[in-house]
Amino acid sequence: MGGGGWWYVPKVWSPSGGWWCNPPNWKRNTAVGYLVVGVLTACVFKISADNERRPVPPRVHIPSQYWCKHAKEDDPRLA
């Protein structure tokens, strides 16, 4: 009983990488992941800015009016 060191299964597979995980390309994979998230965020931002409409002009200035496609049509004060 007792101390023979830490016993573990040397050939383990798990989605998270198992024990003592250190993937060889983690920096590149992280950069690619951030790039994908950034591109998807930019696409959603572009679609949102193109489709943003305000049937009633706002009482105060809204920052999204700078990049909104239809801001000058929806708010007569901007024309």
Core vs surface per residue 1-19: b (16+ CB within 10 A) or e: eeeeeeeeeeeeeeeeeee
CA distance 46 to 69: 10
What pLDDT score was predicted for residue 10? 66
What pLDDT score was predicted for residue 33? 96
**pLDDT average per 10 residues of sequence, the chain (79 residues):** 61 70 86 98 94 86 84 81
What pLDDT score was predicted for residue 22? 75
Q: Closest Cα to residue 56, out of 38, 35, 79, 77?
A: 77
Burial of 71 (0-12, 13-18, 19+ CB in 10 A): buried
- Domain segments of the chain: what residues? 26-78
User: Which pTM does this prediction carry?
Assistant: 0.63
